[in-house]
């Protein structure tokens, strides 16, 4: 450290810090290489109603790393964001999600299933965002009404009028919108009313803290707010039956979490949907 470096001597370059900077640069180059090689894909985590039927799924980015295996966003998202590479990852995930959704058109209509896709702030404000999303819809042949885009409250702060405008254009094409991690940002209730929203997602931190009274009160307030704005509510990070019951008792309609299903590859989700369709028809 600085003290052991000698009396009165200041060290400006900490070797540990230098090492970290080098690591980040390597990771950044590796993400870029991975994007060029189509290594970023979508996993799908099913969403359920109280009866246990799948009503939708969330597409979540995964990196099929040639040496390190399957990596979740925790391993790359921060560096990707700082390097301006999140746009490309979002694009890949949306493309994958829409391709599968187009292939599942009949299945999804029969089960009234929708697919949620996360978008980053950088992507929402990109000038080519709208054209790009519409091009992906055309290329894949997906029905835009089956796609729900997830944004966060903090993303809206950059330029609220622009965000609203962009959401409204996509809404005209049938796209749905959800606010992700709801309750953790700074949302203005006034703007909430002006956004073309369909769903609020209760952040997993509140669900995890249940049955803590403060968290329960926040959850109750979010559900009441959603219902008064005529929005659907989904709780994420549901890990126990006790959490699911408490959420249900307070009017939450949809559930996503390890208790019900982990994120899984497309073929496994498809198999579950087929199974659900069969048991419903028979
Ligand atoms: P998120 O959008 O809030 O997604 C939910 C995260 O919680 C996912 O983590 C999911 O695997 C995890 N999760 C689901 N159920 C449970 C549970 O019961 N317990 C716990 N502890 N966790 C649960 P994941 O896949 O690691 O993604 C983390 C975050 O990365 C996402 O949070 C989202 O903010 C971001 N992300 C993921 N994919 C994309 C993408 O394609 N684009 C963008 N922009 N962001 C993405
Ligand atoms: Mg999400
Ligand atoms: Mg979330
Ligand atoms: Mg989150």
Give residue 12's pLDDT: 66
Closest ligand to 208 CA? 1
For the cut 80, the answer to whether the pLDDT of residue 4 exceeds it is no
Is any ligand 1 atom within 6 A of the Cβ of residue 258?
A: yes
For the cut 70, the answer to whether the pLDDT of residue 7 exceeds it is no
Choose the residue to mutate in 48, 56, 60 for probing ligand 1, maximizing ligand atoms within 8 Å of C-beta.
Answer: 60
Determine which helix (DSSP H) or strand (DSSP E) holds 88, and give its type and residue range: helix 86-103
Is any ligand 1 atom within 6 A of the Cβ of residue 85?
A: no
Give residue 268's pLDDT: 97
| Cα distances (angstroms) measured from residue 100 to each of 52, 93, 115, 201, 232 | 22, 11, 10, 23, 24
Most confident of 158-167, 210-219, 240-249: 240-249
Note the pTM of the prediction, 2 decimals: 0.93
Is any ligand 1 atom within 6 A of the Cβ of residue 118?
A: yes
Instruction: Tell me the β-bridge partners of 57.
Output: 46, 115
| End-to-end CA separation in angstroms for the chain | 70
For the cut 70, the answer to whether the pLDDT of residue 117 exceeds it is yes
Give the mean pLDDT of the chain.
Answer: 92
Residue 3 is encoded by which pair of tokens?
A: 């003290």
Only one residue has tokens 């039927």, namely 53
* Long-range contacts of residues 237-245, Cβ cutoff 8 Å, at least 24 apart: 237/203, 237/204, 237/205, 237/207, 237/208, 238/207, 239/207, 239/208, 242/210, 242/211, 243/207, 243/210
Burial class (CB in 10 A: 0-12, 13-18, 19+), 13: exposed
Alpha-carbon span 130 to 141, nearest angstrom? 16
Give residue 197's pLDDT: 96
Q: Say whether 178 sits in a helix, a strand or coil.
A: strand
Give residue 43's pLDDT: 98
Instruction: Label residue 235 by pLDDT band (50, 70, 90).
Output: very high
> Are β-strands 199-202 and 232-236 bridged in parallel, bridged antiparallel, or unpaired?
parallel
CB 50 within 8 A of CB 89: no
Instruction: Label residue 127 by pLDDT band (50, 70, 90).
Output: very high
Write the ipTM.
0.98
Is any ligand 1 atom within 6 A of the Cβ of residue 61?
A: yes
Please tell me the distance between residue 60's alpha carbon and the centre of ligand 1 in angstroms: 6
The residue contributing the CA closest to ligand 1 atom 11 is 263
> pLDDT for 152-211, tens place per residue?
998 888 898 999 999 999 999 999 999 999 988 877 788 888 899 999 999 999 999 998
Alpha-carbon span 80 to 86, nearest angstrom? 5
The residue contributing the CA closest to ligand 1 atom 35 is 73
Q: Which atom of ligand 1 is nearest to the CA of 119?
A: 44
| Cα distances (angstroms) measured from residue 79 to each of 20, 65, 75, 190, 236 | 12, 16, 9, 34, 25
Alpha-carbon span 142 to 38, nearest angstrom? 21
Is any ligand 1 atom within 6 A of the Cβ of residue 152?
A: no
Give residue 2's pLDDT: 43
Q: Which atom of ligand 1 is nearest to the CA of 43?
A: 25
Is any ligand 1 atom within 6 A of the Cβ of residue 135?
A: no
The residue contributing the CA closest to ligand 1 atom 22 is 237
């Amino acid at each position: 450290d600085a003290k052991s470096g000698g009396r009165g001597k200041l060290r400006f370059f900490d070797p540990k810090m230098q090492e970290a900077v080098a690591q980040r640069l390597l990771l950044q180059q590796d993400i870029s290489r991975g994007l060029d090689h189509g290594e970023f894909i979508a996993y799908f985590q099913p969403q359920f109603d109280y009866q246990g039927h799948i009503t939708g799924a969330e597409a979540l980015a995964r990196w099929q790393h040639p040496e390190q295996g399957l990596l979740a966003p925790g391993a790359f998202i921060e560096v990707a964001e700082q390097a301006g590479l999140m746009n490309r990852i979002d694009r890949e995930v949306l493309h994958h999600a829409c391709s599968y959704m187009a292939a599942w058109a009949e299945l999804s209509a029969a089960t009234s299933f929708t697919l949620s896709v996360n978008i980053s702030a950088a992507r929402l404000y990109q000038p080519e965002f709208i054209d790009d999303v519409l091009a992906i819809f055309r290329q894949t042949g997906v029905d835009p009404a089956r796609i729900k885009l997830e944004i966060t409250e903090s993303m809206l702060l950059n330029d609220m009028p622009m965000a609203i405008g962009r959401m409204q254009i996509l809404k005209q094409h049938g796209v749905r919108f959800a606010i992700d991690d709801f309750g953790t940002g700074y949302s203005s209730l006034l703007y909430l009313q002006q956004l073309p929203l369909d769903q609020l997602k209760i952040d997993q931190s509140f669900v995890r803290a249940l049955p803590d009274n403060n968290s329960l009160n926040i959850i109750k307030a979010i559900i009441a707010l959603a219902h008064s704005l005529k929005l659907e509510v989904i709780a994420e990070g549901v890990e126990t039956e006790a959490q699911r019951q408490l959420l249900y008792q307070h009017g939450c309609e949809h559930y996503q979490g390890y208790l019900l299903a982990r994120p899984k590859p497309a073929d496994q989700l498809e198999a579950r949907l087929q199974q659900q369709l069969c048991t419903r028809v028979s």
